[in-house]
Chain A
């Protein structure tokens, strides 16, 4: 059965997007392979064309690049960074990151929406990183985003699905792929998000800070696949409270 993730008309078998910013570059290739990932994000600010430790040289062939606009504080800055990314051959995908907070690195939804509008007009396939707000997500759909990337918890925190209820609302209401980005700290949390109906997971810190990064990437791959299969198969119901009453309250009805 084909179960592909479709982003901007491109199909992916893997639902695991790997962040690259916190790795030793030599490890990116092996981690991408063990995680079975087909898409790797990279910060354009780390691209050093023709120079030493150029992150672009460490992304394996056949993997789709997802450059991000890290460093942008406004929509206009995000646009300029995306243009630079495209100019050096990173393709048309762009993950919008507009951040005006150096402490928590929380995305600025207002500027993110403006950036998405600008970038879609220039033909980019836009994946906006956002704080999970239903109204903004709807506006992102209207602006032409290819997916919505709500955060689970502050980036790098490994705190898991702190925004679970709000991500569930996006899953239920938004007719675009929902990719949980930031905060996922362990495979079980990735699995739980996938069981909720999230379409894909992006992770970086959780893997980069593991004892064995390759093994952790493999664990994430399995967890994401397990969560997806669980979602597709329909989760069994969970009984609330004290269980099912043997004498139903509505047993008196005589029709």
Chain B
């Protein structure tokens, strides 16, 4: 099938369709979200609330909340302590393949970019896993580019089975699957699924996802629900902040997580907060720019709206930023990261998706956490 110019709101033949109204609820919520209508009083009310509602969340994401960042941070730190104590989970990602069939205009892995493509063999995966396990980590996130052909579900399943031999907690960040395929990977040993919508604005989504399965917006949107129906314990949400209007995308991400958890109360939910970096010297030109201030505002709003949700801080951010947000709002941090294909034990086989800004080892991150009075947690999960 020619996947160019397919209707981005229509499912392709093999894609499972759920009876769910979450998409409508999120889209209608975002459509009604006008962040310029909020006042300082709305922000103050949200900051005084002990149980924030959707309107409070909208206020905290609005421009008028920016001068309240310090108060938000203080409240967020208290909430984080109440729900997570001093615990900060450590993990590392392992890219096992970077083949991709999607044409996403913003992504280094996209199928029209001439990068070094690679896929690790079973033996190579095992050597990488051994090298990572030797650092003491117990949690791993397996990643692939989005290619069903090059990285089949069976291939990923074998990688998950291997990972489960060396790690107590295995997550996956791969292309969206049907619920039965998630069930298969769950049985192989994975229990957590990350899928990022990138942008929730359907028009923008269409513009930047030119071809490939990823172009189908609703199939991607319902990946978390299918994962939970497939037996996964937890799901992660995220928008690529800065791709479109970051305030609306952050609001949509929060609603997506909120409605999903409401529908599946047992689900463990978490957020990731990747951003597109603004061009230097262009700070005043684009209201969509996500500087550190805006990124922190989003993370704090997530924490205050859903205080029980996990928040992972990306390796794309600099050490000085990461060190300050752990314990304040973030609850999970990667360490010893290499975002090329392989590269922990083997020589790197394929190119990176993005540049990391924090190259510290597991020991270095462990030391940093302890110096900040936080407790590095290598495992907080038991498979039953």
Contacts and interface: CB of A to CB of B under 8 A. Distances in A.
B81 A209 contact: yes
A45 B380 contact: yes
Contacts of A96: none
A101 B375 contact: no
Interface string A76-110: 01001100100000000000000111111100000
Tell me the interface secondary structure of chain B in the complex: loop
A148 interface: no
A179 B83 CA distance: 21
B377 A102 contact: no
Contact of B379 (A46, A100, A104, A208): A46
Nearest to A58: B375
A30 interface: no
B261 A22 contact: no
Interface in B251-281: 261, 265-269
B87 interface: yes
A226 B382 CA distance: 39
A183 to B, nearest CB: 11
A239 to B, nearest CB: 34
Contacts of A46: 377, 379-380
B245 interface: no
Interface string B292-332: 00000000000000101000000000000000000000000
B81 A45 contact: no
A22 B84 contact: yes
Which of A46, A53, A81 has the most chain B CB atoms closer than 10 A to its own CB?
Answer: A53
B85 A52 contact: no
A72 interface: yes
Contact of B382 (A24, A71, A102, A209): A71
Contacts, number: 85
Contacts of B84: 22
A44 interface: yes
Nearest to A209: B81
Nearest to B366: A52
A25 interface: yes
B261 A102 contact: yes
B379 A51 contact: yes
Contacts of A158: 82
A102 B373 contact: no
A21 B379 contact: no
Contacts of B78: 209
Interface residues on A, range: 35 or more
Given A53-B375, A103-B308, A157-B82, A22 B87 contact: yes
B375 A25 contact: yes
B266 A208 contact: no
B282 to A, nearest CB: 40
Given A22-B86, A158-B82, A205-B85, A102 B266 contact: yes
A22 B269 contact: no
Nearest to B363: A52
A23 interface: yes
B379 A102 contact: no
Given A22-B85, A100-B265, A102-B265, A77 B384 contact: yes
Contacts of B377: 46, 53
Contacts of B81: 22, 205, 208-209
A43 B380 contact: yes
A60 B289 CA distance: 51
A233 to B, nearest CB: 35
B64 interface: no
Contacts of A229: none
Contacts of B373: 24
A23 B85 contact: yes
B33 interface: no
Nearest to A206: B82
Nearest to B135: A52
B85 A71 contact: no
Top 4 closest A-B pairs, CB basis?
A22-B85, A52-B136, A77-B384, A45-B382
Given A51-B138, A103-B306, A208-B85, 6 more contacts: A43-B380, A46-B380, A53-B375, A53-B378, A99-B266, A102-B261
Interface of B: 78, 81-87, 136, 138, 261, 265-269, 306, 308, 366, 370, 373-382, 384
17 contacts: A21-B85, A21-B87, A23-B86, A24-B373, A44-B382, A45-B382, A48-B378, A51-B378, A53-B375, A71-B382, A100-B266, A102-B266, A104-B308, A156-B83, A204-B85, A208-B81, A209-B78
